[in-house]
């Protein structure tokens, strides 16, 4: 299962998204759709933030019995031992007992993903050891109350320190001899994902915090701590603590200068030189949103300045820089788009500015790249709000067959019937006409997914659109007709295989008449705890009712945050790709922590026969989830197409631009051990491919679902 710090880092594995994939232009995120695309429309919810109760350790051990002592590598004792900076204003003869503070955030993922929020006293042993898989002991965890104001995107917190903490003692004195050591903590955001409010079991915390934490970390250098504040507890007054970062600029390494630290609690200010020590009874801290995940806000700048700042940032950090057929020609793109931006600025033309940004986005063969916001939604519908009252589907044999005819629409009035073959469109063979379509404000990572949408948007257009086409009804002769587009959306939704009504919950389930358990995961961009509980509840009910098999439907899920739900179905660890970002320090793409993994859940469920349904409407985090399911022993993967092949991390590539326009571009990429891209441009392919024939295209049944049922029942 994706663990807590990994979840938040991939905001923090992102925003279909976002996480999400942002294949659809007229949306606020990859998963909150205002306009439909072939990658799906899903509902989002913003759960009301609630508090988690304050908790303290159940036992107070002596200094000698606190478990897990870690010893830092010794070094030469400094000839003159420096002292920690103790400003008189902060020294009252007492020691900290209550930590209070505030925070701000710009990325609203925390509002969507978590409903139970708290802060935690977080043991920093993982950082001291530089062990990103170090598991936070439950006995050391102390929770505090926090508020969250979603209107101002800010909040406050309070955390009472326990009389004697139960963290791990670490000798960081660098004295060349073994000391008892000190316990080192940060305060960090600690939302509850599943189970109890503590990080334990399926909701373990690994490594050390970097998101909304009292410390500042450098994501470009392995999340090294570079500033902020720590809480230190010393068992006596004979312990030492670093007074600075040392020549290597790193904390808790052998070249750190050290000095004495008082017994009991101290708050250490890492931003002072030497480090400051605060012993006020009530100490204040700020929880920091990493600058990398903060939205890049250029909305108050001129069109030209905003574009230049955005362009330069993306050119430097784009996830697929240097990847053949993925990286745009930056110089040519700038020469093409910047004059359009300048012209829009001169004319004060917001629509021309939006159109220039659309041209910029089209340069990427990347389903995560896209524009969003109300102006974008309006622009989308101005380009695709009119249709001819019918929909088509390309069959495996190359024919374009009419699969839907709107009652009373232009196509029906002209005599087109369901099952008709479209032969020509505006003077071109229909195959060629489809290939020339630019789906509005939409990008793709695979040619196959783009082709599906091109067939959809061939029959969409702005007001005043006209078409001349040649068609043959079933058993009929070729006919040529002229059609005028009308304002209608029914044929668009039919072409995309969607209902105009959005799903109200992220996971639905039922026992089919065939006595097979069926789970449909509509979105991973929702309350993550709710997704987990609904999914496991379905598994419990299926086992209770002794279903004949299990079908998991991921075909219309635009992404969000992967949860590793496959961990309920196997005890095996499933290794995903290695997340990488460009490091400003090295100038290269560097690993972000260890490779992603889905691990076994404590509760396991078994079904003799299992089928996973995939399709091109499954993108981004949905593809990670689907990949996990595909690796469950005995799982059969069924579908007409592979998933969308849209796999990257987007939380660091969020932009606010003038005219209430937002842009998303992925900055993180996942790679395989051989350096090739993980899932991007490929997706999860079906092992059992369901053919697209005239019968299946015209069927009122879900032929892919039927194929899955037949596999289980045979």
pLDDT confidence of 501, banded at 50, 70, 90? low
Asked whether residue 3 is domain-assigned, the answer is no
Asked whether residue 204 is domain-assigned, the answer is yes
Q: How far apart, in whole angstroms, are the C-alpha atoms of residue 327 and residue 364?
A: 7
Q: How far apart, in whole angstroms, are the C-alpha atoms of residue 391 and residue 292?
A: 43
pLDDT digits (tens, 9 = 90+) for 586-604: 899 999 888 989 999 999 9
Question: 629: closest CA among 669, 672, 668, 572?
Answer: 572
What is the domain count for the chain? 4
Looking at residue 84, its pLDDT comes to: 63
Mean pLDDT, rounded, for 445-458? 97
Say if residue 445 is in the same domain as residue 462: yes
Looking at residue 502, its pLDDT comes to: 66
Q: How far apart, in whole angstroms, are the C-alpha atoms of residue 525 and residue 443?
A: 20
Domain boundary among 444, 466, 496: 496
For the domain that residue 395 is a member of, what is the CATH number? 2.30.42.10
Do residues 292 and 219 make contact, with C-beta atoms less than 8 angstroms apart?
A: yes
Asked whether residue 11 is domain-assigned, the answer is no
Say if residue 378 is in the same domain as residue 486: no
Say if residue 615 is in the same domain as residue 472: no
Two tokens, residue 352 = 């021309």
pTM: 0.85
Say if residue 445 is in the same domain as residue 516: no
Asked whether residue 420 is domain-assigned, the answer is yes
Q: How far apart, in whole angstroms, are the C-alpha atoms of residue 481 and residue 414?
A: 7
Two tokens, residue 379 = 């622009």
Element (H, E) at 358: helix 350-362
Asked whether residue 25 is domain-assigned, the answer is no
Mean pLDDT, rounded, for 625-642? 98
For 533, list phi and psi in degrees, rounded to 5: -70, -40
Say if residue 166 is in the same domain as residue 279: yes
Say if residue 374 is in the same domain as residue 409: no
pLDDT digits (tens, 9 = 90+) for 36-86: 333 332 333 333 333 333 333 333 333 333 333 333 333 333 333 455 664
**Residue-wise burial string across 513-550, b where 16 or more C-beta atoms lie within 10 A, e elsewhere:** ebebbbbbbbbbbbbbbebbebbbebbeebeeeebbbb
Q: What share of the chain is helix, strand, coil (3-state, %, to 5)?
A: 20, 25, 55
Say if residue 369 is in the same domain as residue 439: no
Looking at residue 504, its pLDDT comes to: 81
pLDDT digits (tens, 9 = 90+) for 511-522: 999 999 999 999
Say if residue 334 is in the same domain as residue 254: no
Q: Residue 351 half-sphere exposure, CB side, CA atoms within 13 Å?
A: 5
For 115, the domain range is 45-287
Domain boundary among 235, 262, 287: 287
Asked whether residue 466 is domain-assigned, the answer is yes
Domain boundary among 384, 405, 436: 384
Asked whether residue 658 is domain-assigned, the answer is no
Say if residue 377 is in the same domain as residue 395: no
Say if residue 490 is in the same domain as residue 512: no
Asked whether residue 29 is domain-assigned, the answer is no
Say if residue 455 is in the same domain as residue 355: no
**Class of residue 298 by CB neighbours under 10 A (exposed 0-12, middle 13-18, buried 19+):** buried
Say whether pLDDT at 1 is over 80. no
> Strand (E) positions, 554-596?
574-575, 578-582, 589-591
Say if residue 436 is in the same domain as residue 344: no
Place of tokens 């396991």: 604
């Amino acid at each position: 299962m994706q663990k807590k710090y990994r979840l938040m880092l991939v905001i923090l594995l992102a925003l279909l998204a976002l996480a999400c994939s942002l294949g659809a232009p007229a949306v606020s995120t990859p998963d909150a759709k205002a306009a439909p695309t072939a990658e799906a429309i899903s509902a989002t919810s913003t759960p009301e933030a609630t508090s988690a109760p304050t908790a303290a350790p159940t036992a107070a051990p002596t200094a000698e019995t606190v478990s897990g002592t870690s010893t830092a590598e010794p070094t030469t004792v400094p000839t003159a031992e420096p002292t920690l900076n103790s400003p008189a204003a902060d020294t009252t003869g007492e020691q900290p007992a209550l930590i209070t503070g505030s925070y701000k955030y710009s990325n609203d993922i925390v509002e969507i993903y978590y409903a139970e929020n708290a802060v935690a006293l977080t043991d920093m042993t993982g950082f001291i050891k530089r062990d990103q898989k170090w598991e936070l002991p439950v006995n050391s965890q102390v929770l505090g109350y926090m508020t969250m104001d979603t209107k101002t995107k800010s909040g406050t917190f309070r955390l009472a320190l326990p009389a004697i903490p139960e963290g791990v003692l670490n000798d960081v004195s660098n004295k060349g001899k073994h000391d008892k050591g000190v316990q080192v903590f940060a305060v960090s955001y600690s939302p509850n994902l599943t189970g109890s409010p503590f990080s334990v079991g399926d909701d373990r915390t690994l490594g050390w915090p970097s998101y909304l934490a009292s410390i500042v970390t450098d994501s470009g250098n392995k999340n090294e701590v570079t500033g902020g504040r720590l809480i230190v507890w010393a068992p006596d007054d004979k312990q030492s603590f670093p007074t600075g970062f040392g020549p290597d600029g790193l904390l808790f390494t052998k070249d750190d200068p050290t000095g004495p630290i008082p017994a009991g609690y101290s708050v250490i200010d890492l931003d002072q030189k030497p480090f400051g020590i605060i012993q006020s009874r009530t100490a204040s801290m700020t929880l920091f949103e990493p600058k990398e995940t903060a939205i890049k806000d250029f909305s108050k700048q001129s069109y030209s300045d905003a574009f230049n700042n955005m362009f330069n940032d993306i050119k430097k950090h784009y996830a697929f820089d240097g990847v053949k057929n993925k990286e745009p020609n930056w110089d040519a793109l700038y020469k093409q788009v910047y004059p359009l931006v300048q012209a829009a600025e001169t004319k004060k033309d917001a629509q021309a500015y939006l159109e220039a940004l659309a041209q910029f986005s089209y340069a990427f063969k990347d389903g995560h790249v896209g524009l969003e916001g109300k102006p974008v939604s309006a622009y989308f519908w101005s380009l695709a709000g009119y249709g001819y009252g019918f929909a088509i589907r390309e069959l495996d044999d190359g024919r374009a067959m009419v699969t839907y005819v709107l009652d009373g629409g232009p196509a029906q009035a002209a005599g087109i019937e369901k099952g008709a073959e479209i032969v020509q469109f505006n003077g071109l063979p229909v195959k060629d006409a489809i290939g020339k379509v630019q789906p509005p404000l939409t990008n793709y990572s695979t040619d196959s997914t783009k082709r599906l949408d091109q067939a959809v948007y061939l029959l969409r257009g702005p007001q005043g659109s006209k078409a001349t086409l040649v068609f043959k009804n079933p058993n009929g002769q070729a006919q040529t007709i002229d059609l005028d587009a009308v304002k209608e959306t029914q044929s668009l939704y039919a072409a995309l295989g969607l209902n105009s009504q959005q799903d109200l919950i992220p996971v639905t389930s039922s026992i089919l008449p065939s006595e097979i358990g069926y789970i449909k995961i509509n979105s991973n961009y929702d309350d993550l705890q709710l997704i987990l509980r609904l999914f496991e509840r379905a598994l419990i009910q299926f086992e209770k009712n002794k279903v004949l098999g299990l079908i998991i439907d991921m075909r219309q899920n635009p992404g969000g945050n992967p949860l590793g739900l496959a961990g309920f179905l196997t005890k095996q660890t499933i290794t995903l790709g290695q997340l990488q970002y460009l490091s400003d320090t090295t100038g290269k793409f560097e690993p972000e922590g260890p490779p992603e993994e889905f691990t076994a859940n404590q509760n396991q469920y078994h079904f003799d026969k299992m089928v996973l349904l995939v399709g091109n409407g499954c993108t981004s985090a949905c593809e990670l989830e689907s990949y996990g399911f595909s690796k469950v022993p005995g799982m059969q993967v069924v579908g007409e197409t592979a998933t969308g092949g849209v796999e990257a991390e987007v939380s660091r590539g969020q932009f606010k631009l003038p005219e209430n326009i937002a842009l998303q571009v992925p900055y993180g990429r996942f790679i395989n051990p051989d350096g090739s891209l993980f899932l991007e441009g490929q997706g999860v392919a079906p092992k059992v491919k369901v053919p697209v024939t005239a019968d299946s295209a015209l069927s009122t049944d879900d032929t892919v679902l039927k194929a899955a049922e037949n596999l289980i029942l045979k």
